Structure 1
Amino acid sequence: MTTETDKSGGCQCGALRYRAKGELGYPHLCHCRMCQKAAGNYFMPLAAANRQDFELTRGAPKWFQSSDLVRRGFCGECGTPLFYDIPGTDFINLTLGSLDEPDVVKPVAQSNTGQKMSWFHALDDLPLEPAPETPDRENAIAASNHQHPDHDTKIWPLGETS
């Protein structure tokens, strides 16, 4: 049974899915160089799930031991970063972008800001791209989308029988 506070998520291709029961702890943006490289981005949003309330519901992650203390879990099929794990603790950190509903978990802090991009303060001043005159490109992407939907599925990819 799932509750309102339960969170599900997974990778882009759908080979790996997970569920965390209850609230996620300390949602934050980590700006350390290791998280930047692991995410392939300027920061990594993370939050902790109690290990006893966490389960993999499809597939198994591949792991990279990024330091003597921490390992990073990702999908071995599509490469989506999913977990920041400190073995031996009672929690596992989830990447917030891998949640099915990432907007429901708002970060409460930032960490390792000494490595934060120096120009982040100016992002809101960047010009916005104009909306396309026709939605042809967006419609073509939507029609050919191979990304797993933002909810659990019994079978993936759709059309497979097992």
Structure 2
Amino acid sequence: MTEASGGCQCGAVRYHAAEFADNPHICHCRMCQKAVGNYFAALISVPRGKLTWTRGSPARFRSSEHVDRGFCANCGTPLFYEDVTGTHVTLTLGSLDNPELFPPKTQDGMQGRVSFFHALPGLPDTGDTGSDDPEWAAAIAASNRQHPDLDTDVSS
């Protein structure tokens, strides 16, 4: 599949993947929910030898005997799930610079799926972009420390 780059919100940790498995998916298990602070984790696997950390190094948390969860120690962005005995690193789709390249194809960990998950697409769209107040939008723009979705010479 397509090569792609990604990284954390602050830009301290960046990566490039030269190959992806054909397995973009979402996992509903409780461990993934806690690891990403959401109802599910959106993930895709990369052969370990095809993943290069191009800026910084991720921090790791050993969430079980065989699994490391990687994240940025500066901003906390969840970056990966890794079976330390396996051959792949499973990246969070949201940490990719262009996550739309990899729409999920399957769901896993169904025992942890929240009961209202099926109803989420039917929620009303309020049209709120989060920046309807011009003063608020200007304040956010002036103080935004989010790294752009591309490789740069420095982190934000």
- Normalized against structure 1, the TM-score is what? 0.88
Post-superposition shift, 1:141? 1.9
Q: How many residues align?
A: 154
- Normalized against structure 2, the TM-score is what? 0.91
Change (3 A) 1:133 1:93: closer
Task: Pick the aligned partner of 2:97 from 91, 96, 100.
Answer: 100
Change (3 A) 1:127 1:154: same
CA distance in 1 between partners of 2:84 and 2:123 (Å): 41
- Once the two structures are superposed, residues 102-139 of structure 1 have per-residue CA deviations (whole angstroms, 9 ceiling, x without a partner) of 11111110001121011112123322224476544334
CA distance in 2 between partners of 1:155 and 1:130 (Å): 34
Query: Is 1:14 matched up with 2:18?
Result: no
CA distance in 1 between partners of 2:67 and 2:6 (Å): 21
Aligned match of 1:119: 116
Query: Alpha carbon RMSD of aligned pairs, Å?
Result: 1.7
| Larger displacement relative to structure 2 (7-16 or 139-148) | 139-148
Aligned match of 1:25: 22
Aligned match of 1:80: 77
- Secondary structure of the structure 1 residue equivalent to 2:140: helix
Query: In the alignment, is the contact (CA less than 8 A) between 2:20 and 2:44 conserved in 1?
Result: no
Query: Is 1:146 matched up with 2:140?
Result: no
Q: Match of 2:80, as an amino acid?
A: F
Unaligned runs of 5+ in 2: none
Aligned match of 2:136: 137
Query: In the alignment, is the contact (CA less than 8 A) between 1:27 and 1:108 conserved in 2?
Result: yes
CA distance in 1 between partners of 2:56 and 2:26 (Å): 27
- Once the two structures are superposed, residues 91-111 of structure 1 have per-residue CA deviations (whole angstroms, 9 ceiling, x without a partner) of 100000000001111111000
Task: Pick the aligned partner of 1:35 from 25, 32, 36.
Answer: 32
CA distance in 2 between partners of 1:79 and 1:40 (Å): 11
